[in-house]
Structure 1
Amino acid sequence: MATSDRSHTRTDLVRYGFGHVDAAEAALDELALLCGIDRDAILSRVVTVGDPDAALTGILRVARRDAAAVAPVLTDHRGAAALWALTGASEGFADFYFRRPAQLADLLGREPTVPDAAELTHELLASVEAVDGFAADGGEASWVALRVRYRTLLARIAAYDLLAPDAPAHVDLVAAALADAAGAALEASLAVARTRLSASMFPRDDVAAVALAIIGMGKTGARELNYVSDVDVIFVGDADEATTERLGGSRVVDIATRLAVQTMRGISSMEIEPPLWEVDANLRPEGKQGALVRTLESHLSYYDRWASSWEFQALLKARAIAGDPDLGARYIEAVAPKVWSSAARTNFVDSVQRMRERVTEHIPADDVPFQLKLGPGGIRDVEFTVQLLQLVHGLTDATVRERGTLPALAALVDGGYIGRADAAVFASDYRVLRVLEHRVQLRRLSRTHLMPREEDERRVLARTSGLAGSAAEIWELWERIKRDVRDVHVRLFYRPLLSAVASLGEGERTLSPEQAHDRLTAIGFHDPAGALRHIAALTSGLSRKATIQRHLMPVMLRWFADGVDPDYGLLAFRRVSERLGDTAWFLRVLRDSSGAAERLTRVLSGSRYIGELMEWIPESVAWLDDNALLRPRSGVALQDEARAIQTRHPETEEAMRSVRALRRRELLRTAMGAVLGVLTIDEIAAALSTITDVAIQATLRAVRREVVPPEDDALDFSVIAMGRLGGAELGFGSDADVMYVYRPNGVDPQRAHELALRLVAALRASSEDHRAPLDLDADLRPEGRNGPLARSLDAYTEYYRRWSLSWEAQALLRARGVAGSVKLVTAFFEVADEVRYPRDVDVQGLREIKRIKARVESERLPQGVRPERHLKLGPGGLSDVEWLVQLLQHEHAGRLPALRTTSTLAALSVAVDEGLIPRPAYERLSEAWRLASRLRSANTLLSGQTSDVLPTDRARLEGIARLLEYPPGSATRVEEDWMRASRRARQVFERLFYG
């Protein structure tokens, strides 16, 4: 070949994606020689494939064994395209053709199409020469013939799939063909099984008289099977009355059982030709412990008496796929009513949700980011969501009773149970996920559901799927789909949209949807259409819960309408109701305690903070019936519970999950007590501070045993609370200001420093909670953000004695030991007390504090915010009161031990008693401080978001007013009260601080 021609060929090889051009050229030369075909002719037939190097290697291997079988395919346009596509996507198919080169002939001249169920059944029965349900031969040769023919037909399906220009658009057709092929293979294997039994164990007439139906479950039943997947089945055996009387019931079941065993062997046992897939019968009654085959009557008896909810969910996709069609049809007809009434079972929804969560929890941690099927955002999230909605609505709506995920999704949209946008995301992403799953299984014709870890394999996946152009792009697509699917799953699976039609209550059923819409608008709902959907979801159906809520709903709607945000309150109530299901105590509280029901509407319509937490802690509804349950639990009780968590959960992640749950629960308890007026602002601050203390202490215990090895256990480490946490004055949404101190105690100093930093990092990481954020803020440490996160006690001592600035001494005024070594905390405050309570007043230091305060007022106030509306930094706000108190402490606490407190109000009270400020000044300052604290917490409770700014929006101001127990219509009054209190406090502050 001329040099220019060779160069042209190399360019073509690169264009087709060959990575090893020299090796490819050599392989092409050898392939051309073996097959007697010009290499340019071979190259002209190459199509874009996932791994062209592997394809060429695979084809060459086959040609070395049987060139005569390969040559016709390489010269046939359609055959060559199919061969390159198959071997470029699947080493498994390359191995198959190496074992069975004669099967290549099936590719010749064949237009890519998907064989239908009839064709698949005909071909596979023909492979074992089946007549009237019996194969010509019951030997192992029949099993081999069956498996070879199955893989040949599988290649037809795969070739169509790989050559399709838009794989996701065809994935349901491909999956259906795979399921049909599985059913046909079982039918053919059953024919061989009948012949084997009649030749060795039972008379042929007896075998023929026993009916065996094979019921496909899961993806097989839904006709959405993978290339290589366990085929879930249930076996049903039976016979007519005459046969049963002649043989006896036990012999009928015995024959049926042996047929089932031999059928499974024909598919899954080790033979000359490898197994096709695993036939899994573990979804049968009693699972692995139950009989492999039961009669129809026995199945129905089990489902009536002992079946669990998950078993009915599994039966949702049941379909007769092989064996006796009449028996299969009778089985499906008999179990269908049980499936579609199962959602009425107690706690059915919760049980399905828990089952999905358990699946996720049992995935190995290393596999979670790669799990296409079981992981968060994967295939199961779509399937579980769709199945749950089907089962709930299928109780009364037959239109959603579809086996397949995509048809069911379409039916749910048509019925108004899922929004079109969410359904479009699910449908599109589900198709892509299934294509990815198919491609990773094709690679080696092996059962896997993991995205490739290696970049080269991801590149191949990108090319075979046609979904991306590179390894990075296919991974980016996967990450995006995970996020989108998980988002829709969480919103639908935990808060299903159960109806699109409204039904208000027993006395108002005659209202048309338009009349109901107008009624809700009139009483204060801003989104009456949404409210109607929620009402329908809460009251539809025949369950006990729906009946009780139909009676309560008219009253509760009025209570919601009287609240701050009736639309959100109703939505939150729906979410809580769905989480609790038909829990007996919940229904009892709603029905029998009008006070609790009214309180529930009040907290949900008044506080998004409560609504969001209550959705995840729905059992908190029970607290509304008893004020004692709304009061904070003691620090001792919380500490005991936290220590018990550590005992039960030696692993940090498990322990922290429980600690976060404890913290959320107690935050919710405090919030509910605050909104319902059970707690004062002082009790709220103390409770929130105690909860935070316990959370930090428990977190430190958990991470220390993971971070600090036994040989370094002498290391002392403590957390010092600062700011509002140090003063035990936290509000809702407050950061937790802290400092970190350690003492080596014999540990190498450098090692001690490294361990301390690791403890800090672990503390911050483990305390993170997206549902109830806990921000450990260390900005008040020496040198602020520029200083080290953790210092040794000696380093603190040296720093404070030599370089400490006035603001750092001021910050220590609210320092308090919160976690870690008690001895170290004591030693730290021996140093800190000298700095924050000086014996000799530093006049220059006092001037510096005043200068810094003036700078804070001018520089730290956010742009665009009116100063008088800023509750913290504005005139007369929290900062004014706290800086004045701290100035007094810094100046006088050295001689007045009573001033040595971290509490702002306690120190202010002492200042009055000691004559440092007049009583009227104390009253104005404390009034402003308390009101600012209440407004700040109310703002967070109302919106679920932290803000230091008094809103200008009248609706939000009204909401804050209602939380502070002002009468309706008090938005202006709240604003005026704050302006008056802050103005009076500012006057006192300027006189005492700067005077």
Structure 2
Amino acid sequence: MSLPVLVSLPVSLAPLASRAEQALRAALGDLEGDARARFEAWPQARRDAWNRVAAVSDFVLQQALRDPCMLLELADSGELEASLGVDELRGQLAQLLADCEDEDDLGRRLRRFRNRQQLRIIWRDIGRQADLVETCRDLSALADACIDLAYHWLYPRHCAQFGTPIGRRSGQAQHMVVLGMGKLGAFELNLSSDIDLIFGYPEGGETEGVKRSLDNQEFFIRLGQRLIKALDAITVEGFVFRTDMRLRPYGSSGALVFSFNALEQYYQDQGRDWERYAMIKARVVGGDPLAGAQLLEMLRPFVYRRYLDFSAIEALRSMKQLIQQEVRRKGMADNIKLGAGGIREVEFIAQAFQLIHGGRDLSLQQRPLLKVLATLAGQGYLPAPVVEELREGYEFLRYTEHALQAIDDRQTQMLPDSDQDRARVAFMLGFDSWEAFHERLMHWRERVDWHFRQVIADPDEDQGGEPDEVIGGEWLPLWEDAQDEEAACRQLAEAGFADAAQARQRLAGLRNGNQVRAMQRLGRERLDAFIPRLLAQTVEHDDPDLVLERVLPLVEAVARRSAYLVLLTENPGALQRLLSLCAASPWIAEQIARFPLLLDELLNEGRLFKPPQAPELAAELRERLTRIPEDDLEQQMEALRHFKLAHGLRVAASEIAGTLPLMKVSDYLTWLAEAILEQVLALAWRQCVAKYGTPRRADGSACDPDFIIVGYGKVGGIELGHGSDLDLVFIHDGDPQAETDGAKAIDGAQFFTRLGQRIIHLLTAQTNSGQLYEVDMRLRPSGASGLLVSSLGAFQRYQQNEAWTWEHQALVRARVLVGCPRVGKAFEAVRAEVLGAERDLDRLRTEVSEMRAKMRDNLGTSATAAGTAANAFEAAVPFDLKQDAGGIVDIEFMVQYAALAWSREYPELLEFTDNIRILEGLERVGLLPGEDAMLLQEVYKAYRSAAHRQALQKQPGVVSGDQFHAERRSVLRIWQALGLS
């Protein structure tokens, strides 16, 4: 929402403004000098602002009356209406503390500074000179400055008294780290927030420099106590910030300060769900910032799990239930933070997604709630209209919270019951009456609560049943083996299982298997909650036997990582999509069982069945990798693999659902490979340059990178399928003899060879998420015996002087996938020159025919002489879609023959590398009748579509011999018409 509008001061508040002005005039009159004249000289706009602020904020009035000079100084300097930057605020306080004498003086100066800034911030907030984000930032920056500068004032004096703490391992002086939690950590402090802090220090050891040393922990405990006193103690000047230390390990019963190791051990072994929730917003606000960054990095795995963690929803739901009980017990329905539809519910929504997905989606690892909400919309976790409503509702609630607290600098979120304070709140929110304000407030609370229930609510309650009516509850006795075999089989048969005994046996095998028997209590409870839901949805399918057979291996695979079971329990739609995909494709079922992280993709139906276009695909991968430190190779490799798996699943799901036709499937899979290769090349280049330095061109300039990856075969022809390997050739245009410019210099030939080796390693290395691609390099010059990486000149010489005809056939489908554009253009010129060379057509036909005959002999169906025998069209014998006569390779060889035979005369035939568009070109230049060209295109697509279906069914590319009769005969007819035999 925009800033609340300024409305006229209501009649009911006018007497408060009048009395405030009279009181201020009286206070100024008691001062010596020209104080009153300075006030009288205020412009009318500031006088009006004073009337508004003093009428609604008792705190501002009290501070002004206590120290009228402070108000005049703020006004005369222009600071009263000014926005102060973080550094400016800190600089003012540092200057104020420069000559501070003792701790009592420190406390006085901190409090006066805080009251001065609090007055300024409230003035600007009520006067609409600062929006919500700026007000919260100012308050948080004020807290940061007070905490850190107070600490750095106390530390040297504490060391003088007790010695300097020295780390036992490092031998270095130790500083404390102050973590700001909650709203302070997220730069979201409200007008009267307390501050939640946690203290830590890097290493154990003892103090040095005094007669009687102290243990480091005892040193920092005493220092922490002094810091808390400086901030929290209430004096005649008030307080700086109420300080709450209960979020530390073991709460109020725990030590005030812990070493980093102790903190890490605690959170690893004993950290609870609510502590993960709290730690999301942790930020270093005082002490040693470098050590603090190290501490936060140590604690990151506790907060953000590497896997999808839907158990976070259970934890948040439990926390919300406890809060609701407390709200009911204490009659706090009017609490705009904790009540239904309050601030906490918006925070829970955002943090649920952060805890669930933040381990893998680094964009969610941020603190400010409004930025998290924007990310949820941008990354597709929530629809943009939902996020917009949550944002507007949250801002309205926070503005209301500020209005409540501006009245008396009191930490409250309760709606007032006095008419005067109600009028004040309505005025500050821009409403003419309490009734109008309250109506709008309840609108936003209802919307927030509705969205909260969509995200956090128990799925059993979503069904509209009784709270104790569990989805699929009728299947629980069968799963728990609480009924005899006959009753169990009867229930399964009546539900639609064709082989009830087999289904019961499968369930018993899971229940009694090693994985389930080894589960801990919580995991077993989650499994027991999930299986009835699974069976309830399984019986909705036409073939429940098949669904159960394919899904149970996945359940067994994730049994020990029960957070995945929670994901499916919490998301009935995701479970429904899982069962549908597994029923349609055993390949998908196996992929998800091997890589359960793919379950994440099932959560968003719109995203699952709508893969992005090539530019968005590449941009998404670049964005993911930029969030990972460059030196974290393991995480980069995992991110690449997860990206490939996730988008591969989306393509397969779209193909099964019919939202993506065959040609688009191959396009997407090829784009995916290109996006990955682009990042793999960049990653390998950075690593090699960091190790060896940059290679040189022949003219002595630096390569950047003067290297290309050329794709052959399916990836070159934009025809990748599920599980296809990559046929690659690496080419460089650097100086092979010139040395790199690094400390470990090597010549250019060695550099590019090692770059190629690095690329292959990144693509093929097995990690927890498998490998990216199988890579075949045998199409490079001289095959397996040749150099891994060729120079452009060597590649050209080989193609012109040594390459076989079949290698030129392969070159027809070759294209630059990624790398240096200049070298890419040079490669295209070489390719055009080689393929466009003058040829003896009789010899060419003979060589192409002989190569095809060898392939049929070695790879075709032996029982039918590769589809040429009389029995080739019988149902009992198989037809190999790729290798048998009339199949895919015959079409490919005809296209390659035509390109080699006629591209000298018609160079436009070399424009494309895919068979479909080359066939279009042959028709366009009149080398192939239109009906034949179209026929070959349609047959080629039909064959490839069948091969894709077979792949998704985990079957080889072979169908029964009674299929594709007309297509096979037509292909052979055109083959012979071209003079091939």
* TM-score, normalization by structure 2: 0.45
User: Which is helix-richer, 1 or 2?
Assistant: 1
- TM-score scaled by structure 1? 0.44
